[in-house]
Structure formats: C-alpha cells, structure tokens
C-alpha cells in the first residue's frame, strides 16, 4: 500500500470526463489499480465527495485484485454544479411539494452509467454509501445490464418510515448557524462525526479535519448539497422495484448508525431476492480507520465470488 499522509495518497490524481451521460455534465474521478482488473465503482452520499472514500479503503480493494473508480456526484467536488437550477426547498419537498426538484436519483444513476461509458467499461460492481447506496440501487434497477453486483452500505429503500435519523442527531448535525468559513466547516464536520460516527471504532479527528479541509478546498457548495437532498426525497420508495432485482447483492449496515437507522439496511436486504445482509456491531454512519480493512475484505470477497461464478 502507498504511504499515506493524514490518510491521503498524494499520488492519486483527479481526472475529468466531459459530456457524461444524458445530462452531458463533467464528472471528476480517480482511478486506482490494474486496468484489467474487475471494476468497482464507488458512489458517495449527500454532501460527500470522491475523497470521502478513504484512500486506505480504496488501496485495500486494489490489494485484493480489484480496480477502483471513485467520483464526484453532480453538485459535489469538481464535477458539474447546477448553479442555474432553482433553489432547493427541502422542507417543502418533505411535505410533498416537489416544485423545487432539479433532478432525481435516476439522473444521478445515469451520470454513473455515463462515466462507465466514458471510461469504456461495459459493467461494474456498484458500491454505494448512504445516498450513494440509493444511487447504486437505482442504477441496478434502471440499468441492470451495467451492474455486475450491488453493494449497498448504510443506506435504505426510500421508504420514509425506515432508516431515518433520530431527532437529536438532526439537531446535533444541522443545528446552529450555517458554516461558511473553512474552519467553521471543519468544526461542524467534526461535531457531525461525533454524533453519527462509529462508537465501536474511534475516529481519527486529525485525518477527518484534513479530509474536510481538502473537500472545502476542492469545492464547498451547500446549495448543491440541498439539491442532492431534495433529489433523494423526490425519488420515492424503491421497495417494489428492488423486489424484482436479479443480481448479487450485499447489504452492509452498522447497528449503531444514528443517521440511517438499521431498519433501512434490513429493509433493503429483505426487498432484494437473495441479498446477503451484514450487520456490524459498533459501526455508525462512517468509514472509520478500524473498519476499513474489514469492509474492504467483505466487499472484495463478495466481488470475487461473483467474478468466479
């Protein structure tokens, strides 16, 4: 594994694919591993960027013989930000008024498929975390010929009665004045990690602060984050469509997840025929240092099991 400084591998470079998917957007991505190895496409969640997939986790997948592609979703990082879109109104969306919706998870799944097209990949093993899990599920539903297997982590089905954050977590994570400066954003993120992180696996706060600073420097766009959140709400419940999936599926969820309660993971596994459910004691809504090797090993074993069929 490459030497990491504050959790980062300086040799990993950002690349950009232009005019991706039906929307014709730019998608920033990084590519690791043997170009002939099976492809794992990593899809991140709301307000997160490609770099929120820890480099050590990515290297562990590569060490397992896999090729890793991670990327910035639209409205995050160095990918296209839809600055001309109308302001997103999350409270209205939650109340059923979807007039401020600029796009849905279907559009974001099409972006991911478009990136596969741009890179010349026929299929990939889709691995998503949080909203990224919902995008990966949507990708499997709407583009089944492009998904070799599905891994849904710390995510849910879109059923609003399941996988919800507790009210105290919402207050701890989103309460208080908006963060604007670099230091304010770092401090808010550290507060969020303390609220929703993994109680069984300590967070490296120095690494977390460095990652947040790096993400801020790449692009800080809370308005874009709101558009992603509204897209998630507008996309609705996937349960019925998940019941028709016919592809290998691994569902991973932490029993201590306070942002997406474990009922979301259980419901996902129950909906998808033959899905394998892995529940991890002490895991919250993050990818802490002490869990990265274990998670990468689980995913690597699952991917190779399907590759060897």
For 170-190, write each residue's pLDDT tens digit: 888 888 889 999 999 999 999
165-180 per-residue burial string, b: 16 or more CB within 10 A, e: under 16 = beeebeebbeeeeebe
pLDDT value, residue 10: 86
247-260 per-residue burial string, b: 16 or more CB within 10 A, e: under 16 = bbbbbbbbebbbbb
- For 220-233, the pLDDT digits (tens) are 999 999 999 999 99
C-alpha span between 208 and 246 (Å, rounded)? 37
C-alpha span between 132 and 282 (Å, rounded)? 21
CATH fold of 15-307 reads Rossmann fold (3.40.50)
**Cα radius of gyration rounded to whole Å, the chain:** 18
Residue 145 DSSP code: G
Task: Give the domain ranges of the chain.
Answer: 15-307
- For 71-114, the pLDDT digits (tens) are 999 999 999 999 999 899 999 999 999 999 999 999 999 999 99
Mean pLDDT of 260-268: 98
Does the pTM exceed 0.85?
yes
In what order do the strands lie in the sheet containing 249-254?
A: 15-20, 25-32, 67-71, 39-43, 124-129, 147-153, 249-254, 276-280
| Residue 7's pLDDT band (cuts 50, 70, 90) | confident
C-alpha span between 305 and 282 (Å, rounded)? 27
Tokens of 32: 């690791």
Alpha carbon separation from 275 to 112, 149, 248, 279, 300 (Å, rounded): 22, 11, 7, 13, 16
pLDDT value, residue 40: 98
Q: Which residue in 86, 69, 72, 88 sits closest to 25, CA to CA?
A: 72
pLDDT value, residue 167: 86
Task: Give the contacts of 67 (CB within 8 A, at least 6 positions apart).
Answer: 31, 32, 33, 34, 35, 36, 37, 38, 39, 40
């Amino acid at each position: 594994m490459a030497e990491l400084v504050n959790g980062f591998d300086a040799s990993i470079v950002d690349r950009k694919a232009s005019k991706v998917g039906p929307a014709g957007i730019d998608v920033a991505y990084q590519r690791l591993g043997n170009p002939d190895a099976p492809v794992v496409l990593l899809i991140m969640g709301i307000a997160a960027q490609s770099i929120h997939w820890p480099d050590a986790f990515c290297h562990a997948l590569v060490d397992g013989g896999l090729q890793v592609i991670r990327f910035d979703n639209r409205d995050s990082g160095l990918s296209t930000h839809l600055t001309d879109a109308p302001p997103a109104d999350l409270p209205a969306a939650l109340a059923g008024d979807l007039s401020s919706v600029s796009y849905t998870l279907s559009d974001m799944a099409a972006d991911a498929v478009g990136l596969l097209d741009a890179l010349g990949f026929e299929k990939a093993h889709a691995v998503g975390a949080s909203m990224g899990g919902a995008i990966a599920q949507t990708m499997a539903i709407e583009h089944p010929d492009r998904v070799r297997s599905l891994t849904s982590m710390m995510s849910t089905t879109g059923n609003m009665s399941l996988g919800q954050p507790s009210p105290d977590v919402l207050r701890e994570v989103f309460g208080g004045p908006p963060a604007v400066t670099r230091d304010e954003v770092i401090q808010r993120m550290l507060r969020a990690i303390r609220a929703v992180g993994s109680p069984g696996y300590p967070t490296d706060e120095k690494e977390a602060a460095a990652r947040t600073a790096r993400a801020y420097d790449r692009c800080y766009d809370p308005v874009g984050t709101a558009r992603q959140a509204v897209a998630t709400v507008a996309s609705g419940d996937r349960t019925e469509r998940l019941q028709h999936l016919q592809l290998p599926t691994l569902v991973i969820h932490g029993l201590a997840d306070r942002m997406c309660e474990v009922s979301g993971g259980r419901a996902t596994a129950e909906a998808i025929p033959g899905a394998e459910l892995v529940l991890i004691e002490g895991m919250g809504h993050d990818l802490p240092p002490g869990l990265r090797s274990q998670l990468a090993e689980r995913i690597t074993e699952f991917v190779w099991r399907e590759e060897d069929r």
